[in-house]
Amino acid sequence: MSGNLIASTARKARKLTEEEVHEIEHEMELYPDKKAVGLEALKIVQKHQGWVSDESMQAISKFLEIPVSDLESVATFFNLVYRQPVGENVILFCNSVSCWVMGCESIKSHINEKLGIDFGQTSEDGKFTFLPVPCLGDCDKAPVMMVGDDLHRNLTHDKIDELILTYRKSKQVE
Amino acid sequence: MIVNPLTKNIDMTRPPLEISGYESNDGYQSIKNIAKGMTSTDVLQKTKDSGLKGRGGAGFPTGLKWSFVPQGEDSPKQKYFVVNADEMEPGTFKDRLLMEGDPHLLIEGIIIGSFAIQADTAYIFLRGEYKVAERALRKAIDEARERGFLGKNILDTGFNLDIIVHTSAGRYICGEETALLNALEGKRANPRSKPPFPQVSGLWGKPTIVNNVETICNLPGIFTYGIDWYQSLTKGKDHGTKLFGISGKVKNPGCWELPLGITIRELLEDYGGGMQEGLDLRGFLPGGGSTDFMLPEHLDLKFDYDDIAQAGSRLATGTMILLDNETCPVGMIGNLMRFFSHESCGFCTPCRDGLPWVVAIFDEFCKGQGTRKDLEILHEHVEYMGPGRTFCALAPGATAPLGSGLRYFAEDFEKLIKE
């Protein structure tokens, strides 16, 4: 390990969990170099920690031996890598053209009102983070959004009310 | 005769076919046919002869693209085959159907493409949000490996292939093939300057082919049922079937596999069920968000590459987005501009600076606060952000609905100018 190279920042790194290390090592087998695993490592850490903290960035950088600045240039580029804490449920709200034609603006206002948050914000109870997402590729069932890994289609105000109730109760709809 | 080779196994009311069911419906027959003694040159030639064109947007002949990959003794030994499964074009929802509905078809196509260019590693660059597709593909890959269609010495041909699923994290620009390659290499996904083209110097500098999901799904049919069959499918000049979609205010929005060359009216009326009660069609984007608007007068044109091009637009992804008479065209174009502005990678100036400027002007128009000068600036941007001024096609793509919209819906813009 090139420990000296990053000694000045390394003390801020948290320790990756065994699970995280195991999953990142599995990805390393699939690519010819470590740099290619950067995004996968960010996603793995996020899956376990909920988001990617500075300490996690340092840890991944150290583990993959890639500069934290390179990693940051990837982390800040992608919509689905979260560099701030997010709520238990991330709402990925499609506001691209088909959903717009089908009235997603009104659905968005309804969510704004119900949860008291706009894009980029997390509800006070920590249950929801509300984010826009580029076209979700389900345009014949517009308006659509994802909550966590689940896709919800043909959205109406009533459907939003139901979904909010359900997700308030449980972390994931099975 | 099979008339729907891309969707013959798809029934979204049940999970996709497992490998046994897939094989019993001619699945992996193409690999068995190739293993009977075809060389990679034979496979390349047959793909060229089939007339298959790329279904991702650009419509480039697939066989010709493959032929640019250097072959022979002095060519780099390592080559890569990459599947562009980063479907994110606004209004496009066809690759999702193929991957969720029949993942083995894509795997079978990948084996054919990889064999043709002699790549021993294939990456599927999949949208991170496509969770169902990811699970379906991983399962199909495991099944195919168990049955000997992947791995070492596939069906005793001496050909080795592994398929790796890479899930992305949501950026439209990754659909641009050189940005996709940078993303796969773990870099920020800015497009690369071309040349060199990926066919010569792509992933980690090695010869690389990037093909769209639907393009690849055309291959198994060609190598199972033959070229004569493939070329009998069409109703137009270009060959094969195509997934066509409709979104917007029709009675029955959806996605269907139909012969290239059916008329747009047939698609809209027979499959889409026509406009919703009380609404009229004002215009439509024929192939996703980065195509030029077309008008009701174009409905009797054939839905294929040439006819759509003659009307000044592009077939592109073949998924139409409709504008009805109660939806504001300025608002709709403004929505598209916001999308492109948000998804610009920020590398080239016309795109990085031009698109946010355009968005700011649309915001004013949508408040009824547009000016004549604003309108001029919008027209100028159609040129400033046009082809040849940027590394990739994102900004030129944005100018397609912008330029055509300014032309066709001029009176709607006029109405929003404050006097």
Q: In chain A, which residue's Cα lies nearest the Cα of B182?
A: A36
CA atoms of B225 and B230, how far apart (whole Å): 7
For chain B, list the domains and their CATH numbers: 19-231 (3.40.50.11540), 241-323 (3.10.20.600), 329-415 (1.20.1440.230)
Q: Do B248 and A37 touch (CB under 8 A)?
A: no
CA distance, residue A148 to nearest chain B CA (Å): 9
The pLDDT assigned to B419 comes to 77
Number of A/B CB contacts below 8 angstroms equals 134
**Contact between residue B97 and residue B85 where contact means Cβ atoms under 8 Å apart:** no
CA distance, residue B171 to nearest chain A CA (Å): 6
Q: Is B204 on the interface with A (CB under 8 A)?
A: yes
CA atoms of A102 and A154, how far apart (whole Å): 9
The pLDDT assigned to A48 comes to 97
The pLDDT assigned to A11 comes to 57
Nearest-by-Cβ selection for B245 from A80, A102, A140: A140
Optimal mutation site among A98, A136, A150, interface B, most CBs of chain B within 10 A:
A98
Measuring CA to CA, how many Å separate B356 from each of A98, B88, B408?
21, 20, 23
Closest CA to B56 of B288, B341, B230: B288
CB < 8 Å from A in window 349-378 of B: none
The pLDDT assigned to A4 comes to 52
What share of chain B in percent tops pLDDT 70? 100
- Residues forming a β-bridge with A133: A94
Nearest-by-Cβ selection for B170 from A30, A73, A133: A133
**Is the pLDDT reported for residue B108 higher than 70?**
yes
Q: Do A134 and B339 touch (CB under 8 A)?
A: yes
Strand B80-85's sheet: what is its strand order?
A: B162-167, B121-126, B80-85, B208-212
The pLDDT assigned to B270 comes to 97
Sort out which chain B residues have CB atoms less than 8 A from A40's CB and list them. 166
The pLDDT assigned to B123 comes to 98
Q: In chain B, which residue's Cα lies nearest the Cα of A138?
A: B93
CA distance, residue B281 to nearest chain A CA (Å): 13
Under-50 pLDDT residues of chain A: 1-3, 10, 172-174
**Is the pLDDT reported for residue B287 higher than 50?**
yes
Q: Do B169 and A43 touch (CB under 8 A)?
A: yes
Optimal mutation site among A40, A135, A150, interface B, most CBs of chain B within 10 A:
A135
Per the model's pLDDT, the better-predicted residue between A110 and B170 turns out to be A110
CB < 8 Å from B in window 131-160 of A: 132-142, 146, 149, 151
For chain A, list the domains and their CATH numbers: 4-75 (no CATH), 89-169 (3.40.30.10)
Half-sphere exposure of A32 (CA within 13 A, CB side): 12
Averaged pLDDT, B213-240 = 96
Mean pLDDT of chain B: 96
Please tell me the pTM assigned to this model.
Answer: 0.95
Nearest-by-Cβ selection for B87 from A101, A137, A149: A137
Q: Is B327 on the interface with A (CB under 8 A)?
A: yes
Nearest-by-Cβ selection for A100 from B171, B246, B332: B332
Q: Do B171 and A78 touch (CB under 8 A)?
A: yes
**Is the pLDDT reported for residue B393 higher than 80?**
yes
Q: For residue B246, give the H/E element and its range.
A: strand B241-247
The pLDDT assigned to A170 comes to 74
The pLDDT assigned to A169 comes to 87
Show the tokens assigned to B361. 């002007």
Averaged pLDDT, B311-319 = 94
